[in-house]
Amino acid sequence: MDEDDVEATTNPAPSAMQLLEQASQALHIEGCLNSLEGSYRHSLALAYYQGLSHTEVAAHMGAPLGSVKAWIRRGLEKLKGCLAAQGVVA
């Protein structure tokens, strides 16, 4: 068994249904993110899509660290509420 065969058996390709579910979840997340106020949306995008730390987000946004931490926490709460209302998360 060569390296490609081992990878294929340990990481099988996702099924069409799994890909559809992932795409659907991504659309729900995008919709909920777009419904957030600017500071929440911007700080979450920098933290989760760009991988920045809270300190780096604060520096990038020119905002106090405490404000950024609150925006990210509140943004996540609002995001979770929006996704729960759509039945995406419990």
- pLDDT (tens digit per residue) in 11-27: 788 899 998 888 988 89
Residue 40 has what pLDDT? 96
Q: What does the pLDDT look like over 42-81, one tens digit per residue? A: 999 999 999 999 999 999 999 999 999 999 999 999 999 9
Q: Rounded to whole angstroms, what are the CA distances from 4 to 9, 13, 15, 16, 88?
A: 9, 13, 19, 22, 35
Tell me the C-alpha distance between 27 and 21, whole Å.
10
Task: Please give the residue that has the higher pLDDT: either 2 or 82.
Answer: 82
Q: Structural domains in the chain?
A: 12-85 (1.10.10.10)
Residue 21 has what pLDDT? 87
